[in-house]
Structure 1
Amino acid sequence: MGVRDAVGAFALAAVVAWLATPLSARLARRLGVIHVPRERDLHERPTPGLGGLAILAAVIAAGLVFLPLQREYLGVLAGAALIALLGALDDRFDLHPVPKLMGQLAAASVPVAAGVYVDHVTLPFLGALDLGPAGPPLTLLGIVAVVNVVNWTDGVDGLAAGVCLIAAVTFAVLALSLDRDAAGVLAALTAGAAAGFLRHNFHPASVFMGDAGSNLLGLLLACVAIQGVLKTAAVVALLFPLMVLAVPAADATFVIAKRIKYRRPVYAPDRWHFHHRFANIGFSQRRTVMYLYGWSLSLALLALALRFVPYSDEAGHLRPGWAALLAVFGAIAVAASVYVVYVLEILKFRRWRERDIQRRVETGELPALSREAIEREIEREIETGEFEAVRGEPGS
């Protein structure tokens, strides 16, 4: 088992997902699982869901062919089936958050009970940290956290599938390089299933994955991270999943912070996700997705560089040339992150402030101003941080 099996698993899963997705859309129409646009949604027409069932079919098919039929991986497949079916029920009946969370915990407990859990982590400069009996429950919570992080990312055509594709390919390369071949195959078939589905889900999407798909992909990525990275002795093992899943994790962290700040239920839907904020400043769905793909890819490349660039020798001394190359990858990731923040915050402020000034000119609160004068005033406000206080929050 190795690279050849991983490539085969990717190909089989991609083909099955590609062929099965139209069938899942047909099933969704028969069952009435149609996503009608709501106020917070970005799609413009009713779209069938249950695409996650096609992803599940691809995962099961490729898994039974290419994965070792060991207890751990049978547990992963069983947990995947359970959480996808739970998601399908949620897509059909819109379950309350509490039973949905209980179902996620139950599904995640299946692979954990089968041995997919972290009993120690390797920390830079500190070595191995034994988690003891806290390992399984902490792993359970971590899997459910990743499930919901991915679920919240699924709000615009192709975003969740594409980000999961990038993450799964990265995990596959990392796992195979660390001689965790089975985990590498699991990551590869996850990537293949996401790729086959993405063919139908990229804007304009003909089908949505729904919670059946996002929950499934989240659980698979969490299990891949555990089996393929966290269980190894690699010094930067803990950093790999943090970087590979940084974009959906950052989105979830920002949204939770906003909801807490404004005293809203953490589970209540809103328009504060990154994809909503891009839409608020006028980005199309495709442009939004490509920006977030690029950000995810820059962080994935940094994770791969940390694995493959020999920036230090066995004694721990830096090799200047290789360290400089690693610094380049780090700079690219930082630049991408800063640029996204610039787009979301500075550009959002510019457009909101321009509309606010124009509104006040129209109502007579301000004298008539040319477009050039408005732009000069906004530039001054950005440079100095001095502008008139307003009520509410711009672009929220």
Structure 2
Amino acid sequence: MIFYILVCVISAVVTWGLAWATWKLSTRFRLYPSIRERDVHSTPTPRLGGVAMFFGILVAFGVASQVSWFRLVFANPGQITAILAAALIIVVIGVADDIWDLDWLTKLAGQIIAAGLLVWQGVQLVTVPIGGITIVPPVLGLMLTVGAVVLVMNAVNFIDGLDGLVAGVTVIASGAFFIYSYLLARNVGETPYFNLASLITAVLIGACIGFLPLNWHPAKLFMGDSGALLVGLLMATSAISVTGQIDPDSLQSGKLLAPAFIPILLPLAILLIPLLDFMLAVTRRIRAGKSPFSADRKHLHHRLLDMGHTHLQAVLIFYSWTAVVAIGVLSFLFVPWGWSLAFIAVGLVITTVLTLAPLGKKLLNRRNPGGAPLDLASTVPPIQGAPVSERKGSAS
């Protein structure tokens, strides 16, 4: 565990230092775009935070490569090289999009190339833990892997609309996934796949923690498309490293008594909010006859603001939804399934109430404008023929 903490701290410190330098340079040389109609912020803000995150991750991987404890991960250097090369492609595409606003086909092509690079070096789904263990045909595995990576990247990018949102959600979700992959590595035995997933997740958590101080509301620096797509790429890669290589039967022995569906359910749980927002956006845009990648101001975070939540409240609601689902699914590893379901159910009820609270306030205000005490007598229909004072319920 100490070595994972080490690379996490290195990633956080380097990212923070470079993010601060990026903010200063971007502000000095006015390296920021104009405000768009769909943007929530009102002050032009630099969007190159993803570059700082990438170099923080790169340095952390470099340090890890010199630690003998990670020997299994770096025994196949081609895989690590492919992950970092794919990350570089994504960052370059993201920066270009932030500067020149690329068309969606160009961005999609770059994402497919990056995902294909991962598959070429062996980061792909080869098994699916359904009904024991199912071998995925190579061609199908390639298509599923590329599709999953592209899907997750865009899903994460879609929710990147509020200060601190993506970074905070990633820390919570990846924290749960790190615990899972770390326990797998310890209980199932040494394996490069689970160690790789744990390393990627630890480094990603560090980069998000290091970036968050400059991205907290009001943000001085945005991660931009380069950062959001990078986060999605690494989250997808770590999930595929575990889900596509695990034998569920091995989880039923030893100390780790996990349900066989956890390898699939947990990645979906930690990506619940981004995937939900992505599906709603794509459906909405296709029904309107638009490109699924066209921008609009109807994402979930926009809707929370329109409901009446403050910027901070909307971000904390996203955090709470992510925490409830991710921690709830992870708890299947430690407590009886009934307790886990109870935790998830109670958590979802509480977060739903918090999410819909502004609607209840608006309803009360409509019924009682100005917040003055309701005059119940004024709501009673007047009695025909009665004096005016009696119609109003007056005591005079």
Instruction: Identify the TM-score tier after normalising by the shorter chain.
Output: 0.7 to 0.9
- Secondary structure of 2:43's aligned partner: coil
Residues 280/10 of structure 1: CA separation in 2 closer, same or farther (3 Å cut):
same
* Residue of structure 2 in register with 1:240 after alignment: 266
Cα deviation code 1:215-263 (max 9, x no counterpart) = 1000000001011344212312111111111111111122222223333
Aligned to 1:47, the other structure's residue is in SS state coil
Q: Tell me, in whole angstroms, the C-alpha distance in 1 between the residues paired with 2:281 and 2:166.
A: 16
Deviation at 1:294, TM superposition (A): 0.9
Pair 1:327–1:120, CA change in 2 (3 A): same
Question: 1:150 maps to which residue?
Answer: 156
- Residue correspondence of structure 1 range 169-318 to structure 2 within 5 A: 169-179=175-185, 180-234=194-248, 235-236=260-261, 237-309=263-335
Letter in 1 for 2:208: A
Given the alignment, which residue of 110, 113, 117 partners 2:117?
A: 110
Distance in 2 (alpha carbons) for counterparts of 1:327 and 1:9: 34
CA contact (8 A) 1:295 1:336 kept: no
Unaligned runs of 5+ in 1: 310-321, 359-368, 378-396
Q: Structure 1 residue 336: deviation in Å? A: 4.7
Taking the aligned partners of 2:374 and 2:307, their CA distance within structure 1 comes to 20
Structure 1 match to 2:137: 132
Q: Does 1:92 align with 2:99?
A: yes
Counterpart position of 1:16: 14
Q: Is the 8 A contact 2:127 2:246 kept in 1?
A: no
Contact preservation (8 Å) 1:171, 1:228: no
What code does the residue aligned with 1:16 have? V
Note if contact 1:32-1:92 (Cα within 8 Å) is conserved in structure 2: no
Q: Which residue of 2 aligns with 1:164?
A: 170
2:90 counterpart (74, 83, 88): 83
Alignment match, 1:361:
none
| Change in CA separation of 1:267 and 1:114 when aligned onto 2, cut-off 3 Å | same
Classify the secondary structure of the residue corresponding to 1:15: helix
Q: What letter matches 1:112 in structure 2?
A: V
Aligned with 1:170: secondary structure? Answer: helix
Shift of 1:356: 12
Kindly tell me: are residues 337 and 114 of structure 1, through their superposed partners in 2, closer, same or farther at Cα, counting changes over 3 Å? Answer: farther
How much does 1:48 deviate? 0.9
Q: For 1:326 and 1:303, locate their aligned partners in 2 and report how far apart those are by CA, in whole Å.
A: 7
Task: Measure how far apart 1:280 and its partner are.
Answer: 0.6
Is the contact made by 2:115 and 2:145 (CA closer than 8 Å) also made in structure 1? no
Larger radius of gyration between Structure 1 and Structure 2: 2
Could you list the structure 1 runs, at least 4 aligned residues long, displaced by more than 4 angstroms after superposition: 29-32, 347-350, 352-358, 369-374
Secondary structure at the aligned position of 1:207 is classed as coil
Length, aligned pairs only: 347
1:308 partner letter: F
SS in structure 2 of the partner of residue 178 of structure 1? helix
Q: 1:373 to 1:238 in 2, by over 3 A?
A: farther
Give structure 2 stretches of 5+ with no counterpart. 66-72, 186-193, 249-259, 380-396
- Return closer, same or farther for 1:333/1:228 CA change in 2, 3 Å cut-off: farther
Counterpart CA distance in 2 for 1:230 and 1:353 is 51
Q: CA distance change for structure 1 residues 217 and 356 in 2, over 3 Å: closer, same or farther? A: farther
Amino acid at match of 2:147: L
- Of stretches 152-161 and 244-253 in structure 1, the one that deviates more from structure 2 is 244-253
The 3 A distance-change label for structure 1 pair 55 and 66 is same
CA-CA distance at 1:197 after TM superposition: 0.2
3-state DSSP class of the match of 2:133?
strand
Query: Is the Cα contact below 8 Å between 1:5 and 1:185 reproduced in 2?
Result: no
Question: Normalising to structure 2: TM-score of the pair?
Answer: 0.81
**Distance apart, 1:350 and its partner CA:** 6.8
Coordinate RMSD, CA, aligned: 2.6
Instruction: Give the fraction of aligned pairs with identical amino acids, expressed as a percent.
Output: 32
* Separation in structure 2 between the aligned mates of residue 373 and residue 207 of structure 1, nearest angstrom: 51
Letter of the 2:309 counterpart: F
**Residue type of the partner of 1:66?**
A
Q: Indicate the larger mover: 286-295 or 255-264.
A: 255-264
